[in-house]
Amino acid sequence: MSTIAAFYGGKSILITGATGFMGKVLMEKLFRTSPNLKVIYILVRPKADQTPQQRVFQILNSKLFEKVKEVCPDVHEKIRAISADLNQSDFAISKEDTQELLSCTNIVFHCAATVRFDDHLRHAVQLNVAATQQLLLMASQMPKLEAFIHISTAYSNCNLKHIDEVIYPCPVEPKKIIDSMEWLDDAVIDEIAPKLIGDWPNAYTFTKALGEMVVQQESRNLNIAIIRPSIVGATWQEPFPGWVDNLNGPNGIIIATGKGLLRALRATPKDVLDVVPVDIVVNLTLAVGWYMAVRRPTSMLIYHCTSGNLNPCNWGKMGPQVLATVKKFPFEKAFRRPNADFTTNTITTLYWNTVSHRAPAIIYDFCLWLTGRKPRMTKLMNRLIRSLSLVEYFIKQTWEWSTYNTEMLMSELSPEDRRVRTALT
Ligand SMILES: CCCCCCCCCCCCCCCC(=O)SCCNC(=O)CCNC(=O)[C@H](O)C(C)(C)COP(=O)(O)OP(=O)(O)OC[C@H]1O[C@@H](n2cnc3c(N)ncnc32)[C@H](O)[C@@H]1OP(=O)(O)O
Ligand SMILES: NC(=O)C1=CN([C@@H]2O[C@H](COP(=O)(O)OP(=O)(O)OC[C@H]3O[C@@H](n4cnc5c(N)ncnc54)[C@H](OP(=O)(O)O)[C@@H]3O)[C@@H](O)[C@H]2O)C=CC1
């Protein structure tokens, strides 16, 4: 048995963001490879008129968890859904649940965040900064806590070209931002947000950077690590290839390509696109939890989960691969035959957006209208073009991330664990 999997046996684990893309894969891997863990606490908010228990039931009965049922039949008894809302200052957790979390938790994985690029700064600060501060305060009151693992993003310092595994100071003190969000109204925040965000591209990456500073400032005597994944895509191997449950990052673009919606994307074929499969991120996350708890490094460590300098993939390779795949495995109800190409400047991007995206959508909607059906394609195409404009910043440039700590950690793994977890190289 893997040393890391054995480590999580008997452990009480708290995961925030467990209902999210990464959180689900993390939870699945823990139950499948460490079925003798004691309990996984997950903070779940009610959503789309489902109670937390109903949401958990739906997740445990999804395809992702099929293998878990075989190796961990009592998974329903080992998961504790705690009703919580990280938008509330006290997370709206009951006193009894808080007491249980504080007294029992051995490992914390903090995945929860708002990952929208167009989120209001107040909401992004609340979730990505203030909630992290609040969770660290809770963690400092956990006598059995062995490690606190914070999931950030490799783009938290995307205003730099070369990024090391260190915390970079932000131009604004996180506590001042949190305090000001409590009394400024939305109109004032909208006015000052561009100045506060500065040379970050959006509130998401800016507040993830602030969140890292809060982790550093509020670490107290906690045993903490930060993991910075780059662009996280579908599963590579575990529990099965190709699992994804949202349109974020590369997923929306690949699906839009497969549906024949996307015909032109601004990117330079030689540029490296740093994408990592979500199961690789989860493998590193579990390895970091084990390493921090067992080896107890003297200081907080940052781990980059990036592929660019270990196993680079450029657009010129990724694009044709995606096209070949969506042609080999065609999507149902595609709008058009998949066919896409890169544009390399603003003029050609504008031209192809008009000719290949907007115009066909308008014609299609006109036909829908003529035949008494509700036009919908123009709205969807505008949404896609807006999504592309928001991710363009991350597509049209490249970064260099050092991976010393991640490679050091890989060298500390047993041969069994290294076989399972090393796929970045
Ligand atoms: C060929 C090469 C491939 C590789 C290509 C790699 C590129 C990859 C760059 C990413 C770079 C990330 C670098 C940081 C990585 C992190 O650290 S964080 C995690 C990543 N975060 C994200 O990707 C968030 C980006 N997404 C957003 O911010 C929001 O979705 C957007 C872009 C603002 C769009 O918001 P919105 O218009 O309100 O749309 P949203 O609420 O998401 O969805 C509403 C509807 O639009 C639909 N929709 C949303 N997006 C799409 C879409 N792309 N297409 C079609 N329909 C869509 C939804 O299905 C939904 O439909 P309904 O449910 O209403 O029927
Ligand atoms: N996906 C990617 O490409 C990358 C992601 N990351 C980081 O990984 C982490 C997870 O990202 P990902 O899984 O993609 O994000 P998702 O949006 O899929 O999941 C976000 C999670 O946070 C939870 N959450 C959001 N708001 C609240 C709230 N108010 N109260 C309680 N829970 C809340 C969501 O719960 P609910 O289901 O109720 O909405 C969900 O479980 C984030 O920290 C992100 O920054 C880093 C690099 C790349």
Ligand 2 atom nearest the C-alpha of 112 is 22
**Distance of CA 275 from the midpoint of ligand 2 (Å):** 17
As a whole-number percent, the residues of the chain with pLDDT over 90 amount to 91
Torsion over CA of 266, 271, 277 and 281, rounded to 10 degrees?
Answer: -120
Residue 149: per-residue pLDDT: 98
Could you tell me if residue 367 is left (phi over 0), alpha (psi between -120 and 50 degrees) or otherwise beta? alpha
Tokens of 311: 């196993």
The C-alpha angle with vertex 203 and arms to 384 and 192, in degrees rounded to 5, equals 120
**Distance of CA 118 from the midpoint of ligand 2 (Å):** 15
Confidence of residue 225 (pLDDT cuts 50, 70, 90): very high
Tokens of 21: 């893309």
Task: Give residue limits of the domains in the chain.
Answer: 3-246+274-312+398-424, 315-395
More confident residue, 248 or 259: 259
Cβ neighbours of residue 208 closer than 8 Å, sequence gap 6 or more: 113, 128, 152, 153, 155, 156
Residue 418: per-residue pLDDT: 81
pLDDT digits (tens, 9 = 90+) for 393-416: 999 899 999 999 999 999 999 888
pLDDT digits (tens, 9 = 90+) for 151-171: 999 999 999 999 999 999 999
Average pLDDT value for residue range 348-357: 94
Residue 425: per-residue pLDDT: 45
Residue 67: per-residue pLDDT: 97
Give which of 387, 300, 399, 322 is closest to 115, Cα–Cα: 387
Q: Is the CB of 113 under 6 A from ligand 2?
A: yes
Confidence of residue 424 (pLDDT cuts 50, 70, 90): very low
CA distance 222 to 372: 63
Task: Examine the pLDDT at 362 and tell me if it is beyond 60.
Answer: yes
CB 89 within 8 A of CB 131: no
Which of 19, 22, 56 best tests ligand 2's pocket when mutated (most atoms within 8 Å of CB)?
22
Average pLDDT value for residue range 224-234: 97
Task: Examine the pLDDT at 422 and tell me if it is beyond 80.
Answer: no
The rounded mean pLDDT for the chain is 94
Average pLDDT value for residue range 322-326: 94
Which of 22, 307, 383, 386 best tests ligand 1's pocket when mutated (most atoms within 8 Å of CB)?
383
pLDDT digits (tens, 9 = 90+) for 100-151: 999 999 999 999 999 999 999 999 999 999 999 999 999 999 999 999 999 9
CA distance 167 to 165: 7
Residue 272 is classified by DSSP as B
Task: Examine the pLDDT at 423 and tell me if it is beyond 50.
Answer: no
Residue 421: per-residue pLDDT: 56
Ligand that comes closest to the CA of residue 205: 1
**Distance of CA 294 from the midpoint of ligand 1 (Å):** 38
CB 133 within 8 A of CB 214: yes
CA distance 46 to 50: 6
3-246+274-312+398-424 placed in CATH 3.40.50.720:
yes
Residue whose Cα lies nearest atom 34 of ligand 1: it is 387
